[in-house]
Structure 1
Amino acid sequence: MKGDLHVHTNVSDSNYSIEETIKMAKENGITHLGVVDHDTTYGLKKAMELGREYGVNIIPGIEISAFDFEENKKIHILGFNFKLEAPNVKKICNEIIKRRHQNSLWQIKQLYEHGYDITPMEVGIKAKDSICIYKQHIMHVLIEKGYTDKIYSDLYTELFKGQGICSRDIRYIDAFDAVKAIKEDQGIVILAHPGQQDSYYLIDRLVDIGLDGIEIYHKDHTEEDHNKIFQYREKYDLILTGGSDYHGIYGSENEIGDITMPSEYIGYFHQR
C-alpha cells in the first residue's frame, strides 16, 4: 500500500481536474489518495466515485486555512473521513471562500489600476472549475501575458508579499474552531506541515480538543522535523500522515506520490 494524503485539485488551487489527479495517482502507484482541497468539500463524492473506477482508494478530506489569533500565525488543519455532508465544516469554511474571492477581485483591480493588462474575466476563465479565484489563477494570466515565467517568481513576491500592491490577507478561521468542526462531523483531525508553519507549540492544546495526528512527511520538513514529530507521536499516541502537497503547475515540482505517508497508518483511513 502507498498513500499520498495531501493532494489538491482544480476545485481549489491546482490546475488538474479530479479525474486527471486520480489518474496520475494511479499511474504513480498510489493506492490511497487524500483529496484535501482548501476550505471546501465540493467534489469529494465525485472523487470517490472516480476512485472506484480507477482502483484508487479516495480518502475524502479538506485543508482548512486556520489561524492562531493569539500568536498571529497561519495554521493549516487537515480533516479526513468526516461525514460527506459536513455541516459544521461547511458552516465555518463558506465565509473563507467568499472572503478569498472578494480579495482576489480586489487584487485584480489593483493590478489593472497599476498598469497590468489583466481583467477579472480572464482570471475567471482560469478559475472556472474552482470554488473561487486564487492568487495562482491571477499569476497564470500574468505568465501568459509575459510578465513572468513561473508562479512563484520574483514578481509574485513583489506583488503579493510585504508592501506589494496586492498584499492584503483575509480573516481565517480560528484553529481551535477548525478542529472542533471536523470532530463534530466525525472526522479525523491532522495538523498539517507544522515544520513549515512553526506550529509545534499548539500541539499540546490541540490534542486536548481532539487532534488525532500530525503530518510528518512533507516537502518542507527536515529530519529534525521528523524526529520532533515522532516524539509527539510517542507522547500522545498520534497518527502520522504525509503527502506531496500536490498543486499541479501551481505548486512545487514534486509529483503525486513523491512523498507518502507511513504505510502502517493507512489502516486508520477507510473509504466511506
Structure 2
Amino acid sequence: MYKKGDFHIHSTASDGEFNPEEIIKISKERKVDIISITDHNTTKSIEEAIYYGEKYKIKVIPGVEISTRYKGSKVHILGYFRSDMYKKNSFKRYLKLIKNHNIKKLKNSLKGIININIGSNRLSTVSGIKLLKLFDALVVLAHPVSIDKKYVDEIMKLDFDGIEAKHYRNKLEDTEYFINKAIENNMFYTAGSDFHNTNPKDLKHGIIGDVFLNSEEI
C-alpha cells in the first residue's frame, strides 16, 4: 500500500527545473512513494520517470496538464492515463498543436472523431476533457482555487472524474470545500504540490510532498 502521493509535478520537459531522475530522488528523500509527472501539454518525461521510479521503488502514474479556456477564463485540466494510449504519436501531435495554440488545425485533425470547440484559438475545457478521455485518461480539474470564482461551480459540473482538492495554494477551508464538492459529485480527489522548483520565493508552487494524499485517501 502506498503511504504518500503527490500527483502534480512538472519536469524540464515543460517549465520545471528538475529532470525525471532528480524528481524521483527528491520524492525518495521526502518519503513520497507514488507520484505523477504532469507536464504542460507534453508527455516527454514520462518514460524516463517510470524507469527511475522502478529503480528507486516509486510508482509513477503517467500524466499531463492541458491548458484550456472556459468562457475566456483559464482552466487547467490534468489527465491520468490508465493505459499506454499516451504513447500514441497522434496524441503527441495533438499536444503539440495545443502547445502552439494551433486549435484550428487540431479541430481539423479530429474531425469525425470528436468535436473541438474553439475560443480565441484556445482549446475549450469541454473539448480538453473529451480529448483526454479519447486517450483513456481520467480527467481531473487542476487547482480549482485558482479559477475565476464566478465560474468554478459550473466548471466542476463538467464531465470531470476528479478534483485536485488538495493544492499548495489552498487555505484549509479551500481544501475542505473542494473535498466536499468531490464527494457530493461522486468524484475522487487528488493532491498536488504543483512542483516546479525549490526556490523559496516561489509562492505559487510547493516542493514534492508539501501537499499529498495519505494511504487511506490513495
Tell me the TM-score range normalised by the shorter chain. 0.7 to 0.9
Aligned residue for 1:248, secondary structure, equals: coil
Within a 5 Å distance, the mapping from 1:56-71 to structure 2 comes to 56-68=58-70, 71=71
> Structure 1: how far apart are the matches of 2:13 and 2:24?
13
**Quick one: structure 1 residues 182 and 265, their matched pair in 2 at CA, closer, same or farther if it must change by over 3 Å?**
farther
Q: CA deviation at 1:216?
A: 0.8
Within a 5 Å distance, the mapping from 1:241-256 to structure 2 comes to 241-249=190-198, 251-252=202-203, 254-256=206-208
Q: What residue in structure 1 maps to residue 172 of structure 2?
A: 223
Spell out, residue by residue over 1:7-62, the C-alpha distance to the aligned partner (whole angstroms, 9 max, x if none): 10111001111111111011100000110000011121121111101111011100
Check whether the contact 1:40–1:62 (CA below 8 A) recurs between aligned residues.
Answer: yes
Identity percentage over the alignment? 31
> Structure 1: how far apart are the matches of 2:90 and 2:169?
30
Check whether the contact 2:193–2:206 (CA below 8 A) recurs between aligned residues.
Answer: yes
Matched letter for residue 77 of structure 2 = I
> Structure 1: how far apart are the matches of 2:147 and 2:88?
26
Q: CA deviation at 1:197?
A: 1.5
Q: What residue in structure 1 maps to residue 12 of structure 2?
A: 10
> Structure 1: how far apart are the matches of 2:191 and 2:30?
16
**Quick one: structure 1 residues 66 and 86, their matched pair in 2 at CA, closer, same or farther if it must change by over 3 Å?**
farther
Matched letter for residue 179 of structure 1 = I
Check whether the contact 1:14–1:248 (CA below 8 A) recurs between aligned residues.
Answer: yes
More strand by share: 2
> Structure 2: how far apart are the matches of 1:174 and 1:228?
25
Q: What residue in structure 2 maps to residue 176 of structure 1?
A: 126
Q: What residue in structure 2 maps to residue 190 of structure 1?
A: 140
Say which of 258, 261, 265 aligns to 2:210.
Answer: 258
Aligned residue for 1:84, secondary structure, equals: helix
> Structure 2: how far apart are the matches of 1:28 and 1:44?
20
Within a 5 Å distance, the mapping from 1:204-215 to structure 2 comes to 204=157, 206-207=158-159, 211-215=160-164
Check whether the contact 2:37–2:45 (CA below 8 A) recurs between aligned residues.
Answer: no
Q: What residue in structure 2 maps to residue 201 of structure 1?
A: 154
Aligned residue for 1:30, secondary structure, equals: coil
Check whether the contact 1:9–1:37 (CA below 8 A) recurs between aligned residues.
Answer: yes
Spell out, residue by residue over 1:211-265, the C-alpha distance to the aligned partner (whole angstroms, 9 max, x if none): 1100011122123322321232222211110111000157446321111125334
Matched letter for residue 123 of structure 2 = I
Spell out, residue by residue over 1:87-143, the C-alpha distance to the aligned partner (whole angstroms, 9 max, x if none): 56434321133349xxxxxxxxxxxxxxxxxxxxxxxxxxxxxxxxxxxxxxxxxxx
Aligned residue for 1:264, secondary structure, equals: coil
Within a 5 Å distance, the mapping from 1:100-119 to structure 2 comes to none
**Quick one: structure 1 residues 249 and 97, their matched pair in 2 at CA, closer, same or farther if it must change by over 3 Å?**
farther
Matched letter for residue 211 of structure 2 = I
Q: How big is the alpha-carbon RMSD for the aligned residues of Structure 1 and Structure 2? A: 2.1
Task: Give the unaligned 5+ runs of structure 2.
Answer: 103-119
More helix by share: 1
Instruction: State which structure, 1 or 2, has the greater radius of gyration over its C-alpha atoms.
Output: 1
Matched letter for residue 260 of structure 1 = F
Check whether the contact 1:242–1:262 (CA below 8 A) recurs between aligned residues.
Answer: no
Task: Give the unaligned 5+ runs of structure 1.
Answer: 101-169, 267-272
Q: What residue in structure 2 maps to residue 43 of structure 1?
A: 45
Q: What residue in structure 2 maps to residue 74 of structure 1?
A: 74
